[in-house]
Structure 1
Amino acid sequence: MSATPDAAGRGDSPHLIDRHGRRARDLRVSLTDRCNLRCTYCMPADGLDWQPAGELLTDDELVRVITVAVQRLGIEEIRFTGGEPLLRKGLAGILARVGALRPRPELSLTTNGIGFARRADEFVAAGLDRINISLDSLDADTFERITRRRRLPDVLAALEAAATAGLTPVKINVVLLRGVNDHEAPDLLRFALDHGYQLRFIEQMPLDAGHIWSRERMVTADEIQQRLSARFDLTPDPGARLGEPAELFRVDGGPATVGIIASVTRPFCGDCDRTRLTADGQIRTCLFSRAETDLRAILRGGGPADRIDEDIARLWRATTWGKLPGHGIDDPSFLQPDRPMSAIGG
């Protein structure tokens, strides 16, 4: 579904602002919809019909859009996602080119970690600043049950390599599934504390390809806290959020913390500072949006370079101005996005 931006009353700010007083500083860039895992909460065992290569932005187009975002729209952080971003062959080159922009944005990566260990130094040399690695279980059989692949050692190696390469603090993303890995919450926190990693639990969101998500099957933030509190003393860290999606809790008095991202039960839409670019060049103002705005057509439409860049900036500003106040998951009329998480970008 294509968005029809209306920027009436917006004013002349160069930044990505909306009518609810929020400003987007964080750009999530999906590099591919492909993935080498088949996580049950994301996609079917046989995978999906991947987007044709010709529909994806080229490396040059991608860097051009990011340049507009940084230099004309005030974006300060770029997080590369997928699908699995490590499957993008030109990733190191993209990192280096974006890292050379002035002002320089912070560069981060969300990945499942498979294949990262052998390339950690390459990515750091290219300019990578931070990393989030997904790890839903420490048990090889449970990991395989969730991901449909027996690749736990690769993920553990990625975490170690990231820390060795200086990408600290290394963050771990965990999705708990009822009756599958929810009992592992304290063990995962213990593992993170022992290795100096920062753990973030994420409520399962309605972004699966099969549209089988249900609130009843989701492990809530309250339940996660209860499971962790059975072994650890958790105290809120109220000054630490500052617009971040994770609610932080000091563990056993600190300084170590654990985060819970309660996108469903404790939405943080009022502090959202994100905008999104899909691998095929569509702007999304919200992870759960059913509307998109096409930048690829502008990129490939021809014309003077500066005019194209300004057209991209103007359309992006107008789209952001029309951003809704929240994702509306609790509204009876809520409909899950047509695209699954793998095609949107985490």
Structure 2
Amino acid sequence: MRNELIDPFNRKIEYIRVSVTDKCNYRCGYCMPEQGVHPDGTHKEYLSYDELSRIIKAFVDLGVAKVRITGGEPLVRKNLADLVGQISGYEGLEDIALSTNAHHLGREAIALKEAGVNRVNISIDSLKAQRFNKITRGGDLEKVLAGVDKALEVGMNPVKFNMVVMKGTNDDEIEAMVDYGLEKGVEVRFIETMPIGPAGVAMMDQHYAADKILARIKAHVGADLIPAASKSHDGPARNFKIAGTNTKIGVISAVSQHFCETCNRVRLTAKGVLALCLGQEDSVDLRTPLREGISDDGLKQLIKDALLKKPERHYFNENVHNIEFRQMVQLGG
């Protein structure tokens, strides 16, 4: 299938992150304010599953091979497996992934796997129950770990942990998270804090650079970290295999070492906004033309035209205040 989604910098767009809600049952400080971000939101503002599947179909027809379902927390939206089932048969769609805090994953994993979810990324910033509860403002580590076990049990592969490393908050758990990944046979990815929205900007004094994380991991495991080739659908992580094991670790260095030259993704918000860059305002409204009756061909052309607005890169280092207009939770990460 020919990919028709080429941005102005000759990057192929093969991957779309689809937010099904900007609501979340947790309140992680780097992602959203304690009160949330949707006090005035109404149900009608969110795209229906039929609307979401129609947009996804247009992207797949244009060459997108991977869809990641995100939020907010996607599992707070009812019957998510229904959406997965709607899109899983699309010709050309190779991979359906899920990003979740795993609070409800123990309950939903079987249905999601049967519907077509191949892999799952689980946000887990601490292995200490009290600290986890504080970071997430109310999260339940026991439920999250039960969700991890259920995902492994039903055969989601790979299962990945995402840990946002925060200096003075959880950076003392880097080594423990590596050990837990080795024990469970899951890949662990360490993520730098990013200045997205007021919540993210406020956390930048806790930024912990990826190279420091890698140095600590290498010292801890007493083995080399062998660079692992990333697949085009793997996302922005720099991946490494721990010598002598089958375990991989990754770092996402959006601030200290950006990866914009290989960006192959766009994001669809739950309210139908196509966000073209995590760190820039460039975006296009798809919900309005969809609800006004745009044809399938018209929708595809709108998407192709939107890609012409995709910027070359973000500017996290140059100006950490340039994206205070929206919170991470609204963008699907």
After TM superposition, the score normalised by the length of structure 2 is 0.93
Secondary structure of 1:142's aligned partner = helix
1:187 maps to 176
> What CA distance in whole angstroms lies between the structure 2 residues aligned with 1:319 and 1:82?
22
1:55–1:280 Cα contact (<8 Å) kept: yes
2:91 maps to 102
1:246 equivalent to 2:237? Answer: yes
Q: Deviations over 1:171-218 (max 9, x none)?
A: 110001111110000001000101101101111111244353364420
1:317 maps to 304
Percent identity of paired positions between Structure 1 and Structure 2 = 36
AA paired with 1:330?
A: N
> Quick check: 320-329 or 184-193, which moved more?
320-329
Moved over 6 A (4+): none
> What CA distance in whole angstroms lies between the structure 1 residues aligned with 2:270 and 2:299?
16
1:172–1:198 Cα contact (<8 Å) kept: yes
> Quick check: 225-234 or 179-188, which moved more?
225-234
Stretches of structure 2 that go unaligned for 5 or more consecutive residues are: none
1:57 equivalent to 2:44? Answer: no
Q: Deviations over 1:120-174 (max 9, x none)?
A: 1111111111100111100011101100114000110011000000002211100
1:233–1:251 Cα contact (<8 Å) kept: no
Superposed displacement of residue 280, structure 1:
0.7
Residue of structure 2 aligned with 1:132, choices 92, 96, 121: 121
1:336 maps to 323
> What CA distance in whole angstroms lies between the structure 2 residues aligned with 1:239 and 1:164?
26
Question: Pairwise mapping of residues 159-308 of structure 1 onto structure 2 (< 5 A)?
Answer: 159-210=148-199, 212-213=201-202, 215-233=204-222, 235-243=224-232, 244-302=235-293, 308=295
AA paired with 2:299?
A: I
AA paired with 1:308?
A: S
1:80 equivalent to 2:107? Answer: no
> What CA distance in whole angstroms lies between the structure 1 residues aligned with 2:82 and 2:203?
40
AA paired with 2:330?
A: A
Superposed displacement of residue 239, structure 1:
4.7
2:16–2:66 Cα contact (<8 Å) kept: yes
Structure 1 vs Structure 2 CA RMSD = 1.8
The number of aligned residues is 329
AA paired with 1:69?
A: F
> What CA distance in whole angstroms lies between the structure 1 residues aligned with 2:216 and 2:57?
44
Secondary structure of 1:270's aligned partner = helix
Stretches of structure 1 that go unaligned for 5 or more consecutive residues are: 1-12
Residue of structure 2 aligned with 1:326, choices 278, 302, 313: 313
1:7 maps to none
Secondary structure of 1:276's aligned partner = strand
Superposed displacement of residue 44, structure 1:
2.2
> What CA distance in whole angstroms lies between the structure 1 residues aligned with 2:160 and 2:13?
22
1:42–1:209 Cα contact (<8 Å) kept: no
> Quick check: 225-234 or 262-271, which moved more?
225-234
Change (3 A) 1:96 1:333: closer
After TM superposition, the score normalised by the length of structure 1 is 0.90
Superposed displacement of residue 242, structure 1:
4.5
> Quick check: 234-243 or 24-33, which moved more?
234-243
> What CA distance in whole angstroms lies between the structure 1 residues aligned with 2:82 and 2:109?
14
